[in-house]
Amino acid sequence: MKIRRAFKEDIPRLCCIEEKCRFCPKWGEKGFKREFENRVSVTIVLEEKGKVQGFANFWLFSDSVDLNYIAVAKEMRRRLAGSKLVEKVIEYARKNGCRWINLEVNRENLPAVAFYEKIGFEKAGIRPKFYNNQYDALLMKFEVKDED
């Protein structure tokens, strides 16, 4: 597995991955293109055998990172692909002097909540009916510590 910065040419594959994710927001081509134009936005991809199999998008600020999106192709789940993407986000945060990584996740997405908790994210609040005016968003944060 290899992780690299995304290119605009990756957008069709990113759309394909998000389309097959149950809880993923559907940014589509237009949304991904907007992220490439956003100066604080970073999109990274995970490749295996030359094929993009997952991605993460985050906004990098002076003291924190907002993890906006992480998705992995079905065939790569349970193979540490998501963990490797989050590790890379943490690495970006650390290298840029950020203290926190923040995210929101659909509270109904129990596998994702468990995944983030296993990594070390802690629950920090709730946004009621945030998704489609129906599902609550669980706010989570991770303290970025210096490497030992």
pLDDT above 70: residue 44: yes
Could you tell me which residue, 148 or 131, shows the higher pLDDT?
131
pLDDT class for 132, splitting at 50, 70, 90? Answer: confident
**Residue 148: what pLDDT?**
59
For 7, 33, 132, 135, 139, the CA distances from 129, given in Å and listed in that order, are: 34, 27, 7, 5, 13
**Residue 14: what pLDDT?**
96
**Over residues 65-79, mean pLDDT:** 86
**Residue 114: what pLDDT?**
94
pTM (predicted TM-score): 0.91
Question: Residue 98 is which amino acid?
Answer: C
CB 116 within 8 A of CB 103: yes
Q: What percent of the chain has pLDDT over 90?
A: 79
**Over residues 120-144, mean pLDDT:** 94
Q: What is the pLDDT of residues 107-123, one digit of tens each?
A: 999 989 999 999 999 99
pLDDT above 90: residue 26: no
Q: Assign domain 2-143 to a CATH class.
A: alpha beta
